[in-house]
């Protein structure tokens, strides 16, 4: 008798399509991501925590447009001296991502691509003042697939921690981010520099799977929905706000500022990814 997928002969399971019958609710990109403009996400529970000078930032993204010029922020963590680590994205005939220390600090090299049809996996690792940028685990999709550069450490504790913001957002304005066009999913921050083999495992697992390293997760957002969440340090329901749930277990939920959080609105920022 030929093996099939009816459960009678389970030794052979034929390919049924990407994401078929997965255990996770949004496996392989069948769930939502975020189209984060205008607005930003604050992570208030990271404020006051010791800065990380070894970390990784990981996410999947897709550029929706590469024409025209715009600049927008993807990640910024500011210490109590005003210095910050920042990941920015820009478009001007191509799509680029840059990591730097500011203000007036040093930049790592920019990774640039020109596709608006593909989803890409991005990882920044930072350790001992050296950053490395990986696209698709080192695949040669972009001419500058993996690049590194020296970027200084932060000190003290975080005074601000946010994700997605305009290039002038330090003064509270995020209008410059309205013209940026990209989507993002599976945003994670780790308290370690992921190794190339760990990055490859996460890339090959695709969207929707658990990361290969979980004990170092500081925050993890899947952008499935906005919920009423407890932002209090003691988790005693004393600070309920609308936000994106942190799946790392650290309760570093993200609070939307200036974002459309109404699912019935055409400008709702959570979209199928």
DSSP state of 52: P
The per-residue pLDDT for 53 is 95
How many helices (DSSP H) and strands (DSSP E) are in the chain? 1, 17
Mention every residue, 6+ apart, whose C-beta is less than 8 A from residue 184: 33, 34, 36, 59, 60, 61, 62, 74, 164, 223, 273
Report pLDDT digits (tens) over 88-128.
Answer: 887 777 777 888 888 877 777 677 677 788 888 999 999 98
Which one has a higher pLDDT value, 52 or 129? 52
Residue 74 CA to residue 124 CA, distance in Å, equals 12
pLDDT for 64 equals 82
Minimal CA–CA distance to 78: which of 170, 160, 190, 152? 160
With a cut of 70, say whether residue 13 has pLDDT above it. no
- How many residues would you count in the chain? 273
Neighbours of 129 (CB within 10 A): 13
- CA atoms within a 13 Å half-sphere pointing along the CA-CB vector of 254: 32
pLDDT tens digits, 152-185: 899 999 999 999 876 444 433 434 444 457 889 9
Output the pLDDT for position 170: 44
Supply the DSSP symbol for 148.
E
Average the pLDDT over each of 27-36, 191-200, 249-258 and give the range with the smallest value: 27-36
CA distance 192 to 126: 8
- Which residues is 184 bridged to in the sheet? 34, 61
Domain architecture of the chain: domains with CATH: 29-272 (2.60.120.200)
The distance from CA 258 to its chain's CA centroid, rounded to whole angstroms, is 19
Instruction: Say yes or no to pLDDT of 63 above 60.
Output: yes
Beta strands in 69-157 (DSSP E): 70-79, 84-91, 95-102, 111-113, 120-127, 130-135, 146-150
At 102, list the tokens.
């500011």
Q: Closest Cα to residue 31, out of 40, 22, 39? A: 22
Query: Does 75 or 28 have the greater pLDDT score?
Result: 75
Residues paired with residue 256 on neighbouring β-strands, in sequence order: 41
Average pLDDT over residues 231-238: 94
What's the confidence (pLDDT) of residue 139? 55
pLDDT-based confidence at residue 212 (cuts at 50, 70, 90): very high
């Amino acid at each position: 008798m030929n093996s099939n997928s009816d459960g009678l002969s389970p030794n052979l399971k034929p390919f049924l399509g990407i994401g078929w019958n997965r255990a996770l609710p949004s496996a392989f990109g069948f769930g939502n991501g975020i189209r984060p403009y205008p607005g930003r996400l604050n992570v208030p529970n990271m404020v006051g925590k010791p800065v990380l000078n070894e970390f990784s930032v990981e996410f999947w993204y897709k550029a929706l447009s590469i024409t025209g010029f715009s600049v927008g922020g993807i990640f910024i963590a500011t210490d109590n001296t005003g210095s910050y680590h920042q990941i920015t994205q820009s478009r001007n005939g191509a799509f680029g991502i840059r990591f730097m220390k500011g203000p007036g600090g040093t930049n790592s090299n920019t990774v640039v691509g020109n596709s608006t049809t593909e989803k890409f996996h991005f990882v920044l690792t930072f350790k001992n003042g050296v950053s490395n940028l990986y696209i698709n685990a080192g695949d040669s999709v972009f001419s500058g697939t993996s690049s590194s550069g020296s970027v200084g450490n932060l000190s003290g504790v975080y005074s601000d921690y946010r994700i997605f913001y305009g290039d002038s957002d330090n003064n509270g304005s995020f209008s410059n981010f309205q013209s940026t066009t990209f989507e993002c999913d599976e945003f994670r921050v780790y308290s370690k520099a992921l190794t190339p083999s760990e990055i490859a495992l996460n890339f090959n697992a695709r969207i929707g799977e658990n990361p290969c390293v979980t004990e170092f997760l500081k925050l993890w957002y899947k952008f499935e929905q906005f919920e009423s969440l407890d932002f209090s340090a003691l988790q005693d329901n004393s600070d309920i706000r609308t936000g994106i749930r942190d799946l790392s277990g650290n309760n570093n939920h993200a609070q939307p500022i200036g974002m459309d959080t109404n699912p019935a609105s055409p400008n709702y920022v959570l979209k199928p990814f």
